[in-house]
Structure 1
Amino acid sequence: MASITLGGNPASTVGELPSINTTAPSFKLTKSDLSEVSLSDYNGHKLVLNIFPSVDTGTCAKSVRQFNEEAAKLENTKVLCISKDLPFAQARFCGAEGIENVEMLSDYKTGGFGKEYGIAFADSAFETLLSRCVVVIGQDGKIVHTEQVAETADEPNYKAAIDALMNA
């Protein structure tokens, strides 16, 4: 269980992020068109999993914009922005913001992604939502970088994620 903060108040997650150099756990998430997608659909690509509580908060929205600009232009790279927001809200945000270089995915149906990756809040006002994390997966399906942001309101370290992508 990771100990983080939410607005300066202690919060914990249901587990820990997967370890670097391990195979990324499989997942099934929902796309904006309500179809299902799994990790295996991205075989052979480098992936950035930009994970956050809700696209309707300032920091979460900024991370989507930032990764849309930076990571999405890298060769053979997909940026997956993952939250428990409904797919309709994710699509609305991307349409309003002109976001076209990332894929919005939702864990709203089962919460299985948040549990499998150990990043769902176990307590606090955000209980069951996803904590702010970045996971970078190489073309071989191995995790090359993880970050659990210590204070949920803070942004992730974009440079560290981009550097990990470029070296993957």
Structure 2
Amino acid sequence: MKLKKMRYIVLLLSMFVGYGCSNTINKNPIQTVNTKSIIDTIRLKSLPSIGDILGDSIRLTGNNRGLLVNSSEICTSTTILNNGIIFDIAWDKDYRVNFIGTTDSGFITNENVRVDMTLKSIKDIQNVDILKMAGWGYYIKLKSGWFAGFCIGKTCTDRGLKDDDKVAFIFKR
């Protein structure tokens, strides 16, 4: 029994290391979806809110995967389509939504912030307080409750933000 438990722990640790360590450059901390897989994507009439409990129809799909929702936490997630926009939805062990994110440039927040918008453009809209999570990225809280995320270099925090850096993803948590 101990050997079986030890193998399980080693497997989990190797998966964690596999998610955290890679020699490929990933400019977006959240996973993007190939448009060919949109057919398999769950379509929702409205986005869930942070804290909502997800039903079986979302949680029990074959599209679930691990998603790095901050620098030290991988949560189960799936991809959904809402009003033509692709979102990643992640949840905790109690099936409560704890992350909603998108790299889809078609999504526009109430402040008119979107993916590929520059930091300077956001500064023109509102005062910004730039937050940094080492190994995950920089982010700015928007008045709408969404965050604009920036990924600079291999670690997403290789250097400080510059005015011409672009939003890589938009998220809530």
TM range (shorter): under 0.3
Give the helix-richer structure, 1 or 2: 1
Q: Which has the higher contact order (CA 8 A, sep 6+)?
A: 1
Q: What TM-score comes out, normalization by structure 2 length?
A: 0.24
Question: Which is higher, the Rg of structure 1 or of structure 2?
Answer: 2
